[in-house]
Structure 1
């Protein structure tokens, strides 16, 4: 199996941190001997984490402005379930209930989750948090919308998430019906776009990244609530290598 086909095979496991490894797979974390610098050595399925050339996240500097397609979002106003998977807080969505159309390709929203601090950097600077909305196409390719989060005015949906998130790792439970993912998006949808990877093992390089240029504001107290569970769950930025980062108008 060549590298391209191997990465596509990994994509089936790549939908979320909890899906990425089954119970019998190697343990990984964000620090120490099982931290990001060691991910590529923990399991044969994770080698791309160490040798890949299109890894994420990245530090975005001097992007190239380009005419990019307008992402067409059609999302449900509710999430299906919420889970504390031991790496983050994640919300799952009913199959086919929410979609992203990018050019001629339609992706289904599978799940969203959070990182603290932000995984992507802008000009060398992190944001307090970052949300990732993971979409999958029929081909197995993924499109992830990244939303940077700063502190200030509260966001009612993020407040609802942190007030109902499971405090301990365990199975998914029904999500509060008031959690509307649309409220976690900024009004302006301009974005940076580049070819990248999952930011957790197996680090599969099958991701079309759309990082929104405008952050959303959430309450500092709500970030603090998330931080009680996950004070740091962000992969360090990776080398850009020969890639270009495009910026929409």
Structure 2
């Protein structure tokens, strides 16, 4: 099994914060966003997470001077509800029923698994972070991942995000039923222009199996709702990684 196929297999087994349980490197290992188990040490956690330190297609990145390109439209077909919500010790995450929501990109169909949130944004635009970022994680039958990233800025309240912070579990624990009023489609901007690049999971084991699709337009959410999330997770963002020889494409 070559390295890339091995990483795909690992990603299929361990997609934290996709999984609800904390700790997603080797069993018993712990990772965090600071100190001796923070991002600078992720590559030392275990063999599976070594790519966090030595990988050449790591995420997130700072997007500067992207290459304009004729990229395909994102064909999102999402349901209007989430199945469960969980505080997994690293973020707040909403999980979706299997096969109920899809993304079609190029000739591949990906199923929406979950959405989770980072504060501040993990991706930067021209060296600047946004207050938050949402990651909609999709998986293809092959095991490859496509993540739609949505930057979040403060402004008008967003009803879906307001309902998420109003009902999110305050303590780490098992998933519970999500409020039926949380519509994931309401967390998308009107325009679906995006940046695209080949990258990785932004948490251990940092598997380089992700097609990143970061929407260029942010959504607005209430500053008070960002503050509520920040009470639980004041900082849960990996620092930006080197772009190396990759190109970031921007839809025209």
Q: What are the within-5 Å matches in structure 2 for residues 1-249 of structure 1?
A: 1-17=1-17, 19=19, 21=24, 24-249=27-252
* 1:89-127, Cα deviation, whole Å (9 max, x unpaired): 000000000000011100000000000000000000000
* 1:161-217, Cα deviation, whole Å (9 max, x unpaired): 000000000000000000000000000000000000000001000000000000000
Question: 5+ unaligned residues in a row in structure 2: which ranges?
Answer: none
* 1:124-182, Cα deviation, whole Å (9 max, x unpaired): 00000000000000000000000000001000000000000000000000000000000
- 1:5 to partner: Cα distance: 2.0
CA distance in structure 2 between the aligned counterparts of 1:233 and 1:77, rounded to whole angstroms: 27
CA distance in structure 1 between the aligned counterparts of 2:4 and 2:229, rounded to whole angstroms: 37
CA distance in structure 2 between the aligned counterparts of 1:115 and 1:13, rounded to whole angstroms: 22
> Per the alignment, in what secondary structure is the counterpart of residue 12 of structure 1?
helix
Aligned residues: 249
- 1:13 to partner: Cα distance: 2.6
If the length of structure 1 is used for normalisation, what is the TM-score? 0.98
RMSD: 1.1
Q: Decide whether aligned partners of structure 1 residues 61 and 90 sit closer, same or farther in structure 2, where only a CA change above 3 A counts.
A: same
If the length of structure 2 is used for normalisation, what is the TM-score? 0.97
Contact 2:49 2:204 in 1 (8 A): yes
- 1:51 to partner: Cα distance: 0.4
Contact 2:96 2:112 in 1 (8 A): yes
Q: After the TM superposition, list the runs of 4 or more consecutive aligned residues in structure 1 that deviate by more than 6 angstroms.
A: none
